């Protein structure tokens, strides 16, 4: 453990109206580590859809030499940290508690993997225990350190929306991943997109572009259908279809009335 007593190595934090006076860390930080950062945050209740999104997004960012920042919480945060390490990237875990806090064996292993791959654990406290106020305070650092912030999954009361709000205030690029209209952990991300607060991230190939090869669009060309009918016709689970339908609705290729989907 060491202490950074000034902001020379992390000038992005000077954008905050209330920057931390000092930062404690585990690992070997250097100036270059903070120069090309992207934050990935989201729900603690990560879904299989959220995992697939991270598995698609993180390798792309690592290939682009981005450093992945997240908050080291169970769910989206730790899945993003782990995916980064597994793809040979560097990641910064910004903690919502003091740097001297004893971690569980599972968390300790992930922390060790982060450090051994050139990343760091970071906190503005040395001995502070986690409380309801420490996580929102931590979130401002997660947003400030990054050039881009990605919200993978978030409910309407998710702490990730605090990070999103800081990203907007600090003029960071904000992306949100659209999800199923029936999923509680996508209500927050869908709201950010619908209100024009975040740019919709739809994957490397931008799958919301019109395509005659999309089986959903092809099925709806024949007749309007409910999600249950689509599930039977396409032999796909409703949960998987829900995410795809959300993308198509948000991109304006479909409309939905009383549970029935129509192709525009």
Write out pLDDT tens, residues 48-88.
999 999 998 999 899 899 999 999 999 999 999 999 999 99
Cα within 13 Å of Cα(95), Cβ side: 25
Specify whether 21 is located in the same domain as 76: yes
DSSP assignment letter at 40: E
DSSP class of residue 50 equals H
Task: State the Cα–Cα distance between residues 215 and 230, nearest whole angstrom.
Answer: 10
Res 35: pLDDT:
92
pLDDT digits (tens, 9 = 90+) for 99-136: 999 999 999 999 999 999 999 999 999 999 989 899 99
SS3 of residue 248 by DSSP: helix
**Residue 151, pLDDT above cutoff 80:** yes
- Check residues 3 and 40 and name the one with the higher pLDDT: 40
Do 237 and 131 lie in a common domain?
no
Within a domain: 149:
yes
**pLDDT for residue 206:** 46
For residue 248, the model assigns a pLDDT of 77
Dist. CA 256–CA 97, nearest whole Å: 44
Asked if 60 and 145 sit in the same domain, the reply is yes
> 182 with 229, same domain?
no
182 in a domain, yes or no? Answer: yes
Residue 61 domain boundaries:
2-200
**In this prediction, what percent of the chain has a pLDDT beyond 70?**
91
pLDDT score recorded for residue 249: 76
Terminal-residue alpha carbon distance, the chain: 58
Is 184 within a domain?
yes
Please check whether residue 209 lies inside any domain of the structure.
no
> For 22-31, 88-97, 133-142, 189-198, which range has the lowest pLDDT when averaged over its residues?
22-31
Query: Which of helix, strand or coil describes residue 98?
Result: coil
In a domain, 258, yes or no: yes
Q: Are 224 and 129 members of one domain?
A: no
* Residue 15 included in any domain: yes
How many independent structural domains does the chain possess?
A: 2
> pLDDT band at 1, cuts 50/70/90?
low
CATH code for the domain of 224: 1.10.10
Same domain, 141 and 17: yes
Mean pLDDT (whole number) for 221-245: 85
**SS3 label, residue 156:** coil
Q: What are phi and psi of 70, to 5 degrees?
A: -155, -175
Q: Are residues 240 and 172 in the same domain?
A: no
As given in the structure block, the two tokens for residue 17 are 């109206």
What residues have CB less than 8 Å from 127, skipping those under 6 apart? 98, 100, 101
Q: What is the mean pLDDT of residues 204-214?
A: 53
3-state secondary structure at position 2: strand
73 DSSP assignment: -
- Provide mean pLDDT across the span 227-231: 92
DSSP 8-class letter at 45: S
Q: Give the model's pLDDT for residue 214.
A: 82
């Amino acid at each position: 453990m060491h202490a950074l007593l000034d902001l020379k190595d992390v000038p992005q934090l000077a954008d905050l109206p209330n920057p931390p006076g000092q930062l404690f860390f585990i690992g070997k930080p250097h100036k270059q580590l903070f120069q090309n950062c992207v934050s990935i945050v989201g729900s603690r209740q990560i879904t299989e859809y959220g995992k697939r999104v991270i598995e698609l997004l993180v390798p792309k960012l690592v290939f682009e030499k981005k450093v992945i920042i997240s908050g080291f919480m169970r769910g989206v945060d730790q899945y993003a940290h782990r995916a980064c390490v597994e793809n040979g990237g560097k990641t910064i875990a910004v903690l919502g508690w003091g740097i001297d806090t004893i971690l569980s064996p599972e968390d300790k292993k992930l922390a060790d993997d982060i450090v051994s791959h050139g990343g760091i654990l970071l906190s503005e406290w040395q001995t502070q225990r986690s409380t309801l106020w420490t996580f929102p305070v931590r979130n401002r650092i997660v947003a400030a350190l990054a050039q881009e912030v990605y919200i993978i999954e978030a409910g309407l009361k998710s702490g990730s929306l605090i990070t999103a709000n800081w990203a907007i205030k600090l003029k960071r690029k904000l992306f949100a991943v659209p999800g199923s209209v029936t999923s509680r952990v996508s209500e927050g991300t869908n709201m950010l997109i619908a209100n024009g607060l975040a740019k919709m991230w739809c994957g490397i190939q931008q799958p919301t572009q019109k395509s005659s090869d999309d089986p959903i669009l092809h099925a709806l060309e024949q007749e309007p259908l409910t999600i249950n009918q689509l599930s039977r016709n396409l032999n796909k689970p409703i949960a998987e279809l829900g995410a795809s339908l959300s993308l198509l609705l948000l991109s304006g290729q479909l409309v939905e009335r009383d549970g029935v989907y129509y192709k525009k």
